[in-house]
């Protein structure tokens, strides 16, 4: 069954369109510090405004755990989105009840509002109670645009489409189309690059992609866990104790390419040095040292794979790139992936920190798909059905 794109919906004029976006952006000193996710939904909202619809945006922010926590209000997000859209986006300090109803009823064609943080409701997570029904009563049709929440079975994601005609937004559509290219007939060689800190989220996707990929290059925290499991001395490196056995098992796979050297040092940046990895386990880190990046020989090795690739997917930083000099590996991989994507490969990059790294080196536009989903992208690539996407299917 097909998913309908909002671009195919006719006569949107005057309709109240409930749009579930992912405006869960980070804040620093009371300001939005990264507006990637806001910018990603601008095309869908602009499209609806041009069609003269009445746009009601819905999002969560942080983890207020079902309580009204003022610091998680979407008020400042509405202001930032106003600037990005070039059009007033009014913040409504409610998502249900008379206040929400009144605000929505008073809207004019082409107007845009942002309701309050939907996670203030204890019924949002896991789609409990009557919340979905009450949200649905505010609109005529529903659009899911936030790909990054498509893997959550929440009221505003899977609940509303039970009551309203449902469509994929332009962002969601773009993400599904791009990622589908990776899961069906990817051009070969197909190179997967995995790094980052959250090992448990990466292993399922690694397993699913191993059959399709030509090679899987591994950097980041996973490497320390693997090396420790093999008996190397890894000092105070980032370790996922629960994944040691799994890591050792992966070590045997012929498609997995592990680093041949690493950069170790103190986490605040001092005393960085390169350590070559020998076949026989040995001490890599001295007391107080940790493995914090891939080394130069590894980078050359990884580059040789990336430069031949026709399809590339990258998720997870190669090292602790927030602190110099441990940013070298991640930034170099960002440039390599972008360069190849600009050329003959179809390149996809996803995950909060990974996208940040790509932006830091200014190569975002060279990548074919910059996915706004971290967890959602991994689950999609891992072959799981995402509840938010399935909910759109059912309605057709």
Q: Which residues bind ligand ADP (CB under 6 A)?
A: 195-198, 220-221, 224, 238, 291-292, 315-317, 319-322, 351-354, 374
Instruction: Tell me the closest approach of the beta carbon of residue 353 to Mg ion, in angstroms.
Output: 5
Q: How many CB atoms lie within 10 A of CB 29?
A: 5
Instruction: Tell me the closest approach of the beta carbon of residue 330 to ligand ADP, in angstroms.
Output: 8
Q: Indicate the helix (H) or strand (E) that contains 280.
A: none
Active site residue 37: yes
Instruction: Tell me the closest approach of the beta carbon of residue 90 to Mg ion, in angstroms.
Output: 31
Q: How many CB atoms lie within 10 A of CB 270?
A: 9
Q: In the stretch 293-332, what mask flags binding to Mg ion with x, by CB under 5 A?
A: ----------------------------------------
Distance separating alpha carbons of residues 93 and 88, to the nearest angstrom = 16
- The two most distant CA atoms of the chain are separated, in Å, by 72
196, 219, 221, 352: which is the annotated catalytic residue? 352
Q: Which residue is nearest to Mg ion (CB)?
A: 352
Task: Rank residues 114 and 292 by Cβ distance to Mg ion and give the closer one.
Answer: 292
Task: Rank residues 311 and 315 by Cβ distance to ligand ADP and give the closer one.
Answer: 315
Instruction: Among 221, 347, 352, 375, indicate the residue that binds Mg ion (CB under 5 A).
Output: 352
With contact defined as beta carbons under 8 Å apart, do 19 and 45 qualify? yes
Instruction: Among 175, 293, 327, 353, indicate the residue that binds Mg ion (CB under 5 A).
Output: 353
4, 16, 20, 37: which is the annotated catalytic residue? 37
Chain centre distance of CA 20:
16
Indicate whether 154 belongs to the interface with Mg ion (CB under 5 A).
no
Helix (H, G, I), strand (E, B) or coil at 77: helix
The CA-based angle 86-90-162, given to 5 degrees, is 105
With contact defined as beta carbons under 8 Å apart, do 119 and 131 qualify? no
With contact defined as beta carbons under 8 Å apart, do 238 and 219 qualify? no
Task: Rank residues 85 and 334 by Cβ distance to Mg ion and give the closer one.
Answer: 334
Distance separating alpha carbons of residues 350 and 339, to the nearest angstrom = 16
Task: Read off the tokens for 283.
Answer: 């001490």
With contact defined as beta carbons under 8 Å apart, do 378 and 193 qualify? no
Distance separating alpha carbons of residues 374 and 113, to the nearest angstrom = 27
Q: Look at residue 291 and give the partner it binds from ligand ADP, Mg ion, none, a contact being a CB closer than 5 to 8 Å depending on partner kind.
A: ligand ADP
With contact defined as beta carbons under 8 Å apart, do 18 and 116 qualify? no
Task: Rank residues 265 and 352 by Cβ distance to Mg ion and give the closer one.
Answer: 352
162, 198, 308, 395: which is the annotated catalytic residue? 198
Q: Look at residue 220 and give the partner it binds from Mg ion, ligand ADP, none, a contact being a CB closer than 5 to 8 Å depending on partner kind.
A: ligand ADP
Task: Rank residues 322 and 365 by Cβ distance to Mg ion and give the closer one.
Answer: 322
Contacts of 65 (CB under 8 A, 6+ apart): 119, 122
Instruction: Tell me the closest approach of the beta carbon of residue 113 to ligand ADP, in angstroms.
Output: 30
Indicate whether 289 belongs to the interface with Mg ion (CB under 5 A).
no
- φ/ψ of 337, rounded to 5, equals -65, -45
Indicate whether 195 belongs to the interface with Mg ion (CB under 5 A).
no
Task: Rank residues 131 and 292 by Cβ distance to ligand ADP and give the closer one.
Answer: 292
Instruction: Tell me the closest approach of the beta carbon of residue 321 to ligand ADP, in angstroms.
Output: 6
Q: Look at residue 197 and give the partner it binds from Mg ion, ligand ADP, none, a contact being a CB closer than 5 to 8 Å depending on partner kind.
A: ligand ADP
Indicate whether 22 belongs to the interface with Mg ion (CB under 5 A).
no
How many alpha carbons fall within 13 Å on the CB side of residue 347? 28
Q: Look at residue 316 and give the partner it binds from Mg ion, ligand ADP, none, a contact being a CB closer than 5 to 8 Å depending on partner kind.
A: ligand ADP
Task: Rank residues 258 and 320 by Cβ distance to ligand ADP and give the closer one.
Answer: 320
Instruction: Tell me the closest approach of the beta carbon of residue 6 to ligand ADP, in angstroms.
Output: 28
Q: Which of 326, 363, 328, 367 shows the shortest CA–CA distance to 346? A: 367
Distance separating alpha carbons of residues 221 and 195, to the nearest angstrom = 7
146, 220, 375, 388: which is the annotated catalytic residue? 375
Instruction: Tell me the closest approach of the beta carbon of residue 379 to Mg ion, in angstroms.
Output: 14
Instruction: Tell me the closest approach of the beta carbon of residue 197 to ligand ADP, in angstroms.
Output: 4
Active site residue 310: no
Indicate whether 221 belongs to the interface with Mg ion (CB under 5 A).
no
Helix (H, G, I), strand (E, B) or coil at 191: strand
Distance separating alpha carbons of residues 121 and 66, to the nearest angstrom = 5
Where along the sequence are the contacts to Mg ion (CB under 5 A)?
352-353
Residues forming the active site: 37, 198, 352, 375
């Amino acid at each position: 069954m097909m998913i309908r794109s909002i671009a195919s919906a006719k006569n949107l004029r005057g309709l109240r369109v409930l749009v579930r976006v992912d405006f869960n952006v980070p804040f620093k000193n009371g300001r939005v510090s990264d507006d990637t996710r806001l910018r990603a939904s601008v095309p869908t909202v602009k499209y609806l405004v041009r069609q003269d619809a009445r746009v009601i945006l819905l999002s969560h922010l942080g983890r207020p755990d079902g309580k009204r926590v003022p610091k998680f209000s979407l008020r400042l997000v509405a202001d930032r989105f106003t600037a990005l859209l070039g059009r007033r986006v009014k913040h409504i300090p409610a998502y249900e009840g008379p206040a929400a109803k009144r605000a929505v009823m008073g809207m004019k064609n082409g107007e845009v509002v942002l309701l309050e943080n939907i996670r203030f409701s204890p019924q949002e997570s896991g789609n409990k109670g009557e919340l979905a029904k009450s949200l649905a009563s505010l609109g005529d049709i529903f659009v899911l645009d936030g790909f990054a929440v498509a893997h959550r079975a929440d009221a505003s994601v899977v609940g509303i489409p039970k009551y309203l005609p449902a469509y994929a937004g332009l962002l969601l559509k773009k993400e599904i189309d791009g990622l589908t290219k990776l899961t069906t007939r990817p051009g070969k060689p197909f190179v997967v690059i995995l790094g980052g800190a959250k090992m448990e989220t990466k292993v399922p996707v690694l397993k699913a992609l191993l059959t399709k990929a030509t090679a899987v290059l591994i950097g980041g925290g996973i490497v320390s866990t693997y090396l420790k499991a093999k008996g190397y001395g890894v000092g105070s490196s980032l370790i996922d104790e629960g994944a040691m056995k799994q890591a050792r098992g992966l070590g045997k796979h012929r498609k997995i390419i592990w680093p041949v050297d690493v950069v170790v040092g103190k986490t605040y940046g001092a005393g960085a040095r390169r350590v070559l990895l020998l076949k026989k386990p040995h001490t890599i880190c001295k007391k107080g040292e940790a493995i914090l990046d891939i080394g130069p020989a590894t980078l050359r090795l990884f580059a040789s794979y990336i430069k031949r690739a026709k399809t590339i997917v990258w998720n997870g930083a190669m090292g602790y790139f927030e602190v110099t000099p441990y940013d070298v590996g991640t930034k170099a991989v960002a440039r390599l992936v972008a360069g190849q994507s600009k050329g003959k490969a179809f390149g996809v990059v996803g995950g909060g920190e990974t996208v940040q790294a790509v932006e830091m080196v200014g190569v975002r536009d060279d990548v074919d798909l910059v996915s706004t989903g971290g967890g959602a992208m991994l689950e999609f690539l891992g072959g799981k059905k995402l509840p938010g996407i399935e909910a759109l299917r059912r309605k057709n």
